[in-house]
């Protein structure tokens, strides 16, 4: 079975992509959730584990190892390196914005992570 790497998995579109993959029967072990901050990744792993009953583990990978994992998951090498470099930049705070940006962009409060994972699991 293929493995899917979902960038921005804790954001609006990324959560929707994860939701659709799980709703279509893709096992959580075949979904790589890429997020900006480790705190969000830990939370995402916990919520997916709770909702699906599958053990989901968060690991913070160095950029090179992360690029290799994305490549093994099916991204071409250039894209994998790009995603890993952007992720490292985000981790350093280089793309930090205020917390109100997403709410302002959406025109509403963002949907909570637990709610999104439950909706993905239960359709």
Dist CA 45 CA 64 (whole Å): 22
pTM of this structure: 0.49
| CATH number attached to the domain at 4-122 | 3.90.25
- 9-63 tens-digit pLDDT: 777 777 788 888 888 888 887 887 777 666 777 777 787 777 777 777 777 788 8
pLDDT at 78 > cutoff 80 = yes
Provide the terminal-to-terminal Cα distance of the chain, rounded to the nearest Å. 21
Contact 61, 35 (CB under 8 A): no
The predicted model gives 66-85 an average pLDDT of: 88
- 83-120 tens-digit pLDDT: 889 888 877 878 777 678 878 888 988 887 778 877 87
């Amino acid at each position: 079975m293929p493995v899917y790497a979902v960038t921005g998995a804790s954001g609006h579109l990324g959560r929707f992509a994860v939701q659709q993959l799980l709703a279509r029967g893709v096992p959580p072990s075949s979904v790589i959730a890429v997020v900006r901050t480790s705190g969000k990744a830990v939370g995402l792993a916990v919520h997916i584990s709770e909702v699906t009953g599958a053990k989901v583990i968060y690991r913070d990978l160095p950029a090179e190892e992360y690029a290799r994992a994305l490549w093994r998951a099916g991204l071409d090498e250039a894209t994998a390196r790009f995603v890993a470099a952007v992720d490292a930049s985000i981790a350093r705070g280089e793309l930090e914005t205020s917390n109100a940006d997403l709410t302002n962009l959406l025109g509403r409060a963002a949907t909570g992570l637990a709610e999104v994972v439950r909706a993905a699991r239960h359709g």
